[in-house]
Amino acid sequence: MIEIRNVSKRFKKGWYALKNIDLSIAKGDFLFLTGQTGSGKTTLLRLIYMDIFPDEGEVAVAGFLSSTIKEEEIPFLRRRIGIIFQDFKLLKDKTVYENAAFALEVTGQSGRKMREKVMKALTLVGLSHKRNDFPYTLSGGEQQKTAIARALVREPFILLADEPTGNIDPEGSEDIIKILQEVNTAGTAVLMATHDIELARKMGGRFVNLEQGQITTK
């Protein structure tokens, strides 16, 4: 579903954020992307959701190729993937339910089917009882769960998580990873970037380590 072929990305002349990356992620995979801050994890995720494009090589995601995709096609690629961040990116003036529903509303969905999808996602992350609460009343872990629900309402084939536990206490972090594992069990691939190699080891599963833009362990 995702093929990264010999990809390099330069940000400054001569400075490689990523160099000669080869990676494939299949349906149902759970993959940790580990590495220190600045090792290129976020850059790799941005290449997958095509916020930036490789200088060399090619990224293929759900049939879209980085070399041929048109700007107006990018929204349709994004609808196939779910993305969560360390800073949650929730809308403060919307409730938990409204934040999750927003992902469907902006693509023209509404009505009973939309409500069902939103409630299903909120139930999965364990927040259906807090659906009418605003983000500022929630803990960090609950805010991230809201973001996960928003990413899941579209039923993506993969969930990209960029340091999802970065702003959450250790207990909450394990909770989030458990939810990601449940999401994975239900059939969605998960690619989670984290600088916490110990956490990745502890939770088990396949991991890829990045060091100065290069893969060191597959």
Partner 1 sequence: MTFIAIGIMFFSLFLLGAFLWGTFNLFGVISLAREKVEINAFLRENLPQKQVEELSEKLMSMVGVESTEYVSKEEALKKFQEEIQDAPSLIEAVKTNPLPASFSIKLKDGFTSPEKVKEVSEKINIFDEFTTVEYGKSWINKLDRVVKILFLFDILLGIVIGSASVFVVSNTIRLTVIARKRTIEVMKLVGATEKTIHAPFILAGAIEGGMAAAMSGGLLYLIYQLTSKFFVKFYFPHNFIIIGTIVFGIILGMIGSKLAVKTTSKEMKFESPNV
Q: What gap in Å lies between CA 31 and CA 150, rounded to an integer?
A: 21
For residue 208, CA distances in Å to 38, 40, 82, 112, 164 come to: 15, 12, 20, 41, 17
Among 86, 144, 173, 184, binds partner 1 (CB under 8 A): 86
What residue type is assigned to position 52 of the chain? I
Pick 99 or 184: Cβ nearer partner 1: 99
Nearest distance from C-beta of residue 18 to partner 1, angstroms: 10
Q: Is 51 in the site for partner 1 (CB under 8 A)?
A: yes
Binding pattern to partner 1, positions 123-162, x when CB under 8 A? ---------------------------x---x-------x
In the complex, the smallest distance separating the C-beta of residue 29 from partner 1, rounded to whole angstroms, is 22
How far does Cα 46 stand from its chain's mean position?
10
Does residue 79 bind partner 1 (CB under 8 A)? yes
Closest C-alpha among 168, 150, 173 to residue 81: 150
Applying CB under 8 A, which of residues 22, 27, 76, 115 lies at the interface with partner 1?
A: 76
Please report whether residue 40 would count as binding partner 1 according to CB under 8 A.
yes
For partner 1, the closer of residues 108 and 111 by Cβ is 108
40 Ramachandran zone, left/alpha/beta (phi>0; psi -120 to 50): left
> What would the two tokens of residue 206 be?
């396949």
Residues 174-193 that bind partner 1 (CB under 8 A): none
When asked if residue 63 is in the footprint of partner 1 (CB under 8 A), the reply is no
Q: Which of 7, 21, 83, 127 binds partner 1 (CB under 8 A)?
A: 83
The dihedral region occupied by 168, where left means phi > 0, alpha psi between -120 and 50, and beta the remainder, is beta
For the chain, list the strands marked E by DSSP: 2-12, 15-25, 30-34, 56-61, 64-65, 81-84, 158-162, 189-194, 206-211, 214-217
Instruction: Please pick, from the candidates 28, 126, 140, 166, the single residue that binds partner 1 as defined by CB under 8 A.
Output: 166
User: By the criterion CB under 8 A, which residues form the site for partner 1?
Assistant: 17, 37-38, 40-43, 46, 51-52, 72, 75-79, 83, 85-87, 89-92, 102-103, 106-108, 150, 154, 162-163, 166, 195
